Amino acid sequence: MAGFINNLLILLLLFQNICLGFRSPLSVFKRYKDTSRSLSSECLGSDQTVISFGLSDFALDIRMPAVTPKQSDTYLCMSVPLPVDDEAYVVDFKPHASMDTVHHMLLFGCNEPSSTENYWDCDEGTCKDKSNILYAWARNAPPTRLPKGVGFRVGGETANRYFVLQVHYGDVSAFKDKHKDCSGVTLHLTHQKQPLIAGMYLMMSVNTVIPPGKKVIDADIACHYKRSPMHLFAYRVHTHRLGKVVSGYRVRNGQWTLIGRQSPQLPQAFYPVKYPVDISYDDILAARCVFSGEGRTTETHIGGTANDEMCNFYIMYYMEAKHAVSYMTCTQNANPEMFRNIPQEANIPISVKSDVLKMMHGHHEETKDSDATSLLQQDKKEEILDDDFHIAEAVEWPGLDLKLGQVSGLALDPENNLVVFHRGDHVWDVNSFDSKFVYQQRGLGPIEQNTIIVLNPSNAKLLHSTGKSLFYLPHGLSVDKNGNYWVTDVALHQVFKLGANEKEPLLILGVALQPGSDKNHFCQPTDVAVDPITGSIYVSDGYCNSRIIQFSPNGLYVMQWGEETSLGRSRPGQFHIPHSLALIPDLSQLCVADRENGRIQCFKLETGEFTREIKHKAFGRELFAVSYVPGGLLFAVNGMPYPGEAESVQGFVMNFSTGEIIDTFIPLRKSFEMPHDIIASEDRTVFVGDVHAKTVWKFASAEKMEHRSVKKAGIEVQETKESEPIVEARLKNKPKSTDSLKNMDKQHLVQQASTTGASFVLITTLLVIPVVVLLAILVFIRWRKTTVYGADGEHKPDSSSRRILGRLRGKGSSGINLGNFFANHKGYSRKGFDRLSTEGSDQEKDEDDGTDSEEECSASPLPPAPSSS
């Protein structure tokens, strides 16, 4: 026994030493924060420069410290030390700047900045030692993503202990109001070793001269590559106003392979290399910039001001860690003769629309309603969306038959499984809350069923379930990149973070059962979204507040925006039930389904600044939910129309760039009653949850599915790889008006009723058979009566005849009552004749009583509930 105790004590001592020897990044962050400068709160939502994502990951915010440049073409620099001593890896960049104020930004890595001041004029230099370019931004470019397993190595023995941010302020007329600027970039860093190390290869012309009035002038750059193999994954072009097109190539054995080609007048982001390109020893890297001197009266030289020009082609690459080189440059033209064989595409300017040019060069007032950040993938989006695109229901998806409560939220986890949030045996009705939004049914206790279920998206097989005895009235749901569930409960007035395999919440925001409107309380919060880059948490709050609140990844309040809708026309940033959230990470935007205002509003993530509104007559008065798919598709569902209004309840597919409706869809099995949430995946599979119908529908992009024709019961259907017959819900594309939408709906219904001759024959046969059977029964009865009683017999029919006629006659009536006859048969529903049930705060408006609650109650009409705004 004594030996056992001694061994146990030794183990405890070892464990203690390990814990003391392990340096938590949080302690390092605290030390860094105590010694760092404080940033102005005028243009930053938070003074947290470093935010922890856990033991290995953290974010570093690098911002200008509230500066006001006094003259145009000012270059300002500032430095931030790496907050850890160990080696780390930069795996993501998120810019915070607008071309309204900033011409471009460069981020350098070095060991000793040129100054120790908070910021300085970059004419003094950026770094005293060798500097490496890690990142570049211009023209409202969106964030840059690195491939998995790739990172820029910083700290440790590799130097780069400081980051230096250089910001070029081109035209300072935007600073007439003397406001402060905090432009910059947020880095996502990790201590986890990356097997592949990223680097930057800069190709730059230094001696190009553009004559005035010259229509075409080329600037060529070429270098022989003399290092270990590297793999290219992104490129960026940069010129000023005279640049028309920039192209980069690998030349191997006389063969030109395109790395990337783009107009420098579009957002100057790092575009992905379309096809994998590797560079080997003795390959040639070549680039060409095409300029035009038209409109200039003097020569234009390469230089640092907005009236000068630049010709830069940036390449992001990765190499094996043991051979990694972080930065390389090419500023010469090693073989001018070879450019005679450059592909002709390099000489063809990429046209840019005039309104885009105006936006790119500062004339924003003429295009203020469009968002320049959406231009990055505009060409790709239009190529995708101009196809014959339509959504169809997967009619044999068995998820429609699941036994669920009121379905309030849907999401997709990292494995693309469907996650459903439902209310079990609880409902939201007019008795749920008092006039002060305090929950009145606590005596029911929490829901005893698992409220979160995970389903296979192909066959609806149950994979996992959780959430028992935690919630009273579930509402919003999202899943972060790590697979954690984020949910809201309108009865508890709280937001929860749940691990997929954890029974207890990992994080709780809000105070249980206490509604409020300060930093620590919610009032019936509706939805939650988590930024996959920064981990920031966004909550839409809610039925009785009209705001969006941002929290740090650890749940600390950062900022909020929004206000209650005023009388008359709703203005930007005003809400009447912000009901659903959709993150657009590649454009750093958050879109909100502003339910009772029947519109979508979008805002900048970092500032809450309003960017755009999407509103269509086809939405009607209510828009319940919105979902975004990378590549430019926006999905939404609306609510039931008010009495006397014609807009139908349906789903919408929109081009995010233009806001245009390109398709609408409805289910063919059952009908939408109150679609409450929608989620879509990148392959355009769409799920819709209905809080009234207590079900989930699945839709798919018909033209994207491989299918084959099969014949079932004489009716031709299309079948996918997953053996799910796809029936078109719509055949239209890009409707020009809401009237045409309705007309095409009618045409589709007509087309469905008359598809093929075989279908017509089948339907006719099915209709004739009951009539023939009925006639045969009547003939049999007549024959039986004549046979038994004679032609003049007036006796009552026998029992067998009475049984048959009894099925056809209503009780106490001599007429035939087909309604009662069919009502006796299994599967018959009187729906359409009986009065529809009403629902509560998440509800459509009832035709008679106009109540605003979300549950199902079949009682008599109720008086109007108090406004939930």
- DSSP for residue 297: S
Question: For residue 168, which of 238, 247, 76, 242 has the smallest C-alpha distance?
Answer: 76
| β-strand pairing of 574-575 with 563-564 | parallel
How far apart are alpha carbons 119 and 101 in whole angstroms? 17
Assess whether pLDDT exceeds 90 at residue 410. yes
Average pLDDT over residues 28-38: 36
47 within 8 A of 178, measured Cβ to Cβ: no
How far apart are alpha carbons 291 and 596 in whole angstroms? 51
Handedness of CA 37, 43, 44, 49 (dihedral sign): negative
Q: What are phi and psi of 546, to 5 degrees?
A: -130, 70
How far apart are alpha carbons 444 and 415 in whole angstroms? 35
DSSP string, 298-361: S-EEB-SSTTSB--EEEEEEEEEGGG---EEEE-SBS-GGGGGGS-GGGGSPPP--HHHHHHHT
> DSSP 3-state assignment of 809?
strand
Assess whether pLDDT exceeds 80 at residue 851. no
How confident is residue 804, by pLDDT bands cut at 50, 70 and 90?
Answer: very low
The residues facing 137 across adjacent strands are 105
Poorest-confidence range of 339-343, 368-372, 733-737? 368-372
How far apart are alpha carbons 332 and 316 in whole angstroms? 19
437 within 8 A of 452, measured Cβ to Cβ: no
**CB-side exposure of 364: number of CA atoms within 13 Å?**
15
DSSP string, 750-792: HHHHTS-HHHHHHHHHHHHHHHHHHHHHHHHHHHHHHHHH-TT
Poorest-confidence range of 71-80, 352-361, 600-609, 856-865? 856-865
Average pLDDT over residues 99-128: 90
How far apart are alpha carbons 443 and 421 in whole angstroms? 22
Poorest-confidence range of 351-360, 595-604, 790-799? 790-799
C-beta neighbour count of 318 within 10 angstroms: 23
Residues annotated as catalytic are: 103-104, 166, 168, 238, 240, 310
| Residue given tokens 């008679």 in the structure block | 848
Average pLDDT over residues 513-518: 97
| β-strand pairing of 184-190 with 88-96 | antiparallel
How far apart are alpha carbons 104 and 242 in whole angstroms? 16
By the 10 Å C-beta count (0-12 exposed, 13-18 middle, 19+ buried), 562 is classed as buried
Give the pLDDT score at 790.
41
Rounded percentage of the chain residues whose pLDDT exceeds 90: 51
By the 10 Å C-beta count (0-12 exposed, 13-18 middle, 19+ buried), 610 is classed as middle
402 within 8 A of 460, measured Cβ to Cβ: yes
**What is the identity of the amino acid at 229?**
P
Six token digits for residue 359: 């936006």
530 within 8 A of 536, measured Cβ to Cβ: yes
Kindly report the pTM of this predicted structure: 0.47
Assess whether pLDDT exceeds 70 at residue 397. yes
Six token digits for residue 153: 């190595």
Six token digits for residue 124: 């003094």
Average pLDDT over residues 80-93: 90
Residues whose CB falls within 8 Å of the CB of residue 533, separated by 6 or more in sequence, listed in order: 92, 94, 143, 186, 188, 585
Please tell me the total number of residues recorded for the chain in this structure: 869
Poorest-confidence range of 128-142, 295-309, 432-446? 128-142
CA distances to 221, 234, 248, 266, 376 from 269, rounded to whole Å, are 21, 9, 15, 9, 7
- DSSP for residue 851: -
Task: Tell me which H or E stretch contains 829.
Answer: none
